[in-house]
Structure 1
Amino acid sequence: MAEKHGHEVLRLPPYHSQLNPIELIWAQVKEEIRKNNSNSSQKLRVIEELTRKAMNNVTVENWQKCVAHTKKVEEEFRRNDIVINHMVEKFVINISNDSSSDEE
């Protein structure tokens, strides 16, 4: 259905909130609710109204910033992975019994 309407479905890795832009959007929404909610008005109706307003305040620009930030984090992970892979290739542990330290 998404593709039919010109959208691409992107599967994101579970348990990696830093790779999921929606987490940044939810943080924005929750912060707005927190700012606009008085401690005395904890009624569900009030929270629902605040939530709808906060969600309606999410802009295309908010999404673009969150996606750009996520791409930066992803690229940093890739760079670090390359460095780690390079280091791992040079790191070898000999576990055989014929090492000279065993004989000493």
Structure 2
Amino acid sequence: MSWTKARIQEWLTSKSVSFEATMVKANLIDIVRQHKREHSDKYVVDEMAMQHGIIVLRLPPYHCELNPLNWYGRRLKDMLQKNNKTFKMAEVKKLFEEGLQHTMSEKWSSCIAHIIKEEDKMYGLDNMIDNVSDRFIINVTESDSDDFSSDDE
């Protein structure tokens, strides 16, 4: 959506997807949506994971609140800072391993519950935005011009 019309046309051309140069940006975006999946980038790690029955989940950029490792890692880091007395790597390693064993199961389940709440909140916001923005879309057709003709004609 943030791409310029020229950039969208460039993408469609690079993928050999036909379009008319006179199309407006909204129509071009519709065409992109139709062809996006078949032209999306494929990554070696995804192919390797798929061979083992694993699906790689990509998190949206700039949304660390949806990454359970960030959430859990922050708590583990806080524990290390609180309990590290000698500031030697051996102690940090020992504290890290103890922290993983001690808190992993209990904290991980609360971490996942927290992430699910964040996802639900974002889904709700998405629906609100969709409902509000839909009210601002104005469809103009050729027949609409008749509504503004003068009575003198």
Q: Same fold (TM over 0.5)?
A: yes
1:36 and 2:83 matched: yes
Give secondary structure in 2 for the equivalent of 1:15: coil
Q: Is the 8 A contact 1:25 1:66 kept in 2?
A: yes
Q: Is the 8 A contact 1:32 1:54 kept in 2?
A: yes
Corresponding residue for residue 63 of structure 1: 108
Corresponding residue for residue 81 of structure 1: 126
Partners of 2:97 and 2:62 in 1: CA distance: 26
Q: 1:8 to 1:64 in 2, by over 3 A?
A: farther
Q: 1:4 to 1:56 in 2, by over 3 A?
A: farther
Corresponding residue for residue 64 of structure 2: 17
Question: What is the TM-score when the length of structure 1 is the normalising length?
Answer: 0.70
Partners of 1:91 and 1:23 in 2: CA distance: 37
Question: What is the TM-score when the length of structure 2 is the normalising length?
Answer: 0.50
Alpha-carbon shift at residue 65 of structure 1 (Å): 0.9
Q: Is the 8 A contact 1:12 1:19 kept in 2?
A: no
Give the number of the structure whose alpha-carbon radius of gyration is greater: 2
Q: Is the 8 A contact 2:84 2:92 kept in 1?
A: yes
Letter of the 1:69 counterpart: H
Alpha-carbon shift at residue 3 of structure 1 (Å): 8.6
Give secondary structure in 2 for the equivalent of 1:33: helix
Partners of 2:55 and 2:74 in 1: CA distance: 22
**Residue ranges of structure 1 left out of the alignment (5+ in a row):** 94-104
Partners of 2:103 and 2:129 in 1: CA distance: 37
Q: Percent identity?
A: 29
> What CA RMSD, in Å, does the superposition of the two structures yield over aligned residues?
2.5
Letter of the 1:28 counterpart: R
